[in-house]
Amino acid sequence: MKKTLRLLVICPLLVFLAACIGLSSVTPPPPTVPAQLPTNTAFSPGVTTLPPTEVVIPPTETPAPGLPVVIYQLHMLDQSNGWGWTSQADETSRILRTQDGGVTWSDVSPQGQALTPYASSFLDAQTAWIALYDPAADSSALLRTVDGGQTWVSLPQKDLQNAYYDFTSPNDGVAETAGVGAGNLYLNLYSSNDGGASWTPILIAAPDSEPGLPDGTIHLCNICGDSLYYDPERLVITYGDLASDPGGVVRLSVSTDLGQSWKDLNLPLPDGKYADGLVAPKAPVFFGSEGLLPVSIGKYDADGALVYSVLALYLTRDGGQGWSQAPAILENTVGFFDSPQILSPEEAFIRCGKNLCVTRDGAQTWQTLPDGLDFDLNSSGAYVFQYEFVDPAQGWAVVSDGADFQLWKSSDGGVTWIQLAPRLIQ
């Protein structure tokens, strides 16, 4: 199996931006779960943080074993290992760890910290980072563990306020900061080679230079459906037209030299009846030189009623320089605010109405899985607000009606689901 390139994705349309960083199938949690990060309206790239204060924070005392625990969100790494979040009466969150696929959990929260699940990065069963933000002091910090949460090290983030993080190794990571205002989005990226202790600006040259912007700043439209993808091999900017008339094409810009040169592409929409739709491309997903670009296409009538909402996948085999449309168009999708979970160039899952749909042949065909859990984001009852697969068979889903939360698991690729009864252990 080819290893997926981990990436940093900025998806400004979503209220819960962290859902776009490596968890593309996650939707915003109910309001009872603290999840939203205050937007950073200022940016000042070009500064590397001071050496961190190495403070080792022990975990809090683990509650009594056997106590049931409610899982609000989770990030599974493989069939057995994963991280999860629960909430306390004061609406602060606790971070948990499982080693048996979600049946039992250990509380590994650092002591004395009010945690929120935004911007966290989970590399493996031992290594994780949690971002902290104190709005009263307007200060940020990054907590890092390399022993599965037994101990945490605090890394002050003096010059990276309200950042989002993604790490590809115990040492190497990328951070993103964003400034938002009047429909504009200003993005800056930073790299770390010491596990998040210090950061250096990634000086990207934007496709269109703008006087007065700091070096490395990318200016996108915050209400159009624009997004930025970055990895060490390439940059991809996708442009949506949700704030304009339909453009009739899928627009993107690709660079392999940090923006010193850009290649602009206009990909044709599916023939026929979708040519008048509004386009919201998602950030692409790459597996080496192979990649998939999900594109949501939708249309509303004069009364605001949805006429159609479909998903098209575009495929590349040359690192994003050229793209071709996969033949199968998936209808009845949730729309502009939902992204598929892509596991490989062949396999992807996405919501389709109340069902879950899957392709196992690179969108040559799509299959609607049998009725089981309700995947409709507009459901008035209990629905799946987060789902995640670690391979084509093993998947988890968090179901809620806004008050009660349930954890479910599938071992046959979403065909059938069983409810788990998670509990805490020592």
β-partners of residue 143 are 130, 154
β-partners of residue 384 are 399
* Helix, strand and coil in the chain, % to nearest 5: 0, 40, 60
Residue that is written with structure tokens 């971070």 in the block: 95
Triad 58, 59, 62: Cα angle to 5°? 145
Q: Are 204 and 253 in contact (CB under 8 A)?
A: no
pLDDT of residue 114: 59
Q: Are 372 and 417 in contact (CB under 8 A)?
A: yes
Alpha-carbon gap, residue 239 to 172, rounded angstroms: 29
Task: Per residue of the chain (426 residues), give pLDDT as tens.
Answer: 333 433 444 443 332 333 333 323 333 333 333 232 222 222 222 222 333 444 454 554 445 567 899 999 999 999 999 999 987 666 678 899 999 999 999 999 887 665 665 678 999 999 999 988 777 777 788 999 999 999 999 898 887 877 889 999 999 999 999 988 888 999 999 999 999 999 999 999 999 888 889 999 999 999 999 999 999 999 999 999 999 888 999 999 999 999 999 999 999 999 878 989 999 999 999 999 999 999 999 998 989 888 999 999 999 999 999 999 999 999 988 777 788 999 999 999 999 989 999 999 999 999 999 988 999 988 889 999 899 999 999 999 999 998 899 999 999 999 999 999 999 986
Q: Are 75 and 23 in contact (CB under 8 A)?
A: yes
Residue 155 main-chain phi, psi, to 5 deg: -115, 100
Q: Which residue in 127, 194, 132 sits closest to 163, CA to CA? A: 132
Angstrom distances, CA of residue 68 to CA of 74, 385, 397: 16, 21, 18
Number of DSSP helices (H) and strands (E) in the chain, helices first? 0, 34
